[in-house]
Amino acid sequence: VEPVVCQHIEGYTYSLGEPMGECTERVMALSKALIAGGLRAPVRTAIRDEIWVKLWGNLCFNPISALTHATLEQIGTDPGVREVVVKLMQEGQAVGEALGARFKVPLEKRIAGAVAVGAHKTSMLQDLERGRPMEIDALVTAVAELGDIVGVDTPMLDAVLALVQLRGKVAGLYPTR
């Protein structure tokens, strides 16, 4: 790949939308360009809901995989770890809903979707293994901080966050501040 060239590896649907839900010329033009390139690019009026559903899975599967080196399938099928996943997702959903997000996918279906991906390593685990900075703040810290702002308690998320931050620090991939 070279400058101004994007290499597409996987996936054919890219939901698009403006932050406030309006249907602007620029989002329609981008959708049209992606469709012309052979992709599906629906314009959504509630893109924030889709972002929250994506973050919902990332905020639990990514740190757990970095801590355990387990795949999505292993995380979602281990009974004890699955309980942690459920608690994290419940807390994340409560934060999102307090901010107006709607979760149209049931929690169990979201977990089943991750398990169905199989022996996949999350991006945070891949970053850890490759010695790259881990996306702890974007995927976990942000949700914990939003919980504080809206008054939603996130005890499981706070505990997992502390653990994955330490994991990142020990590996030299997260700032010690």
Claim to verify: residue 39 and residue 71 sit in the same structural domain:
no
Euclidean distance between CA atoms 68 and 14, whole angstroms: 30
Provide mean pLDDT across the span 18-22.
Answer: 92
What pLDDT is stored for residue 84 in this prediction? 99
Query: Do residues 143 and 95 lie in contact, with contact meaning Cβ atoms separated by under 8 Å?
Result: yes
Same-domain status, 98 and 63: yes
What mean pLDDT, rounded, does the chain reach? 95
Q: What is the pLDDT of residues 145-163, one digit of tens each?
A: 999 999 999 999 999 999 9
| Residue 124 vs residues 42, 76, 81, 133, 169: alpha-carbon distances, Å | 28, 16, 17, 9, 14
- Using CA atoms, how far apart are residues 136 and 138, in angstroms rounded to an integer? 6
60-71 mean pLDDT = 99
**Percent of the chain residues topping a pLDDT of 70:** 97
Q: Is 84 found in the same domain as 17?
A: no
What local confidence, expressed as pLDDT, does residue 4 receive?
74
Domain assignment present for residue 177? The answer is no
Structural domain containing residue 14: 1-45
- Which CATH number does the domain housing residue 52 bear? 1.10.1040.10
pLDDT per residue over 67-104, tens digit each?
999 999 999 999 999 999 999 999 999 999 999 999 99
Spatial separation of the C-alpha atoms in residues 17 and 77, rounded to whole Å: 34
What is the per-residue pLDDT for 8?
67
Number of domains in the chain: 2
| DSSP annotation string for 131-169 | TPPP-HIIIIIHHHHHHHHHT---HHHHHHHHHHHHHHH
Tell whether 12 and 31 lie within a shared domain: yes
pLDDT of residue 5: 77
- Using 50, 70 and 90 to split pLDDT, how confident is the model at 38? very high
Catalytic residues: 54
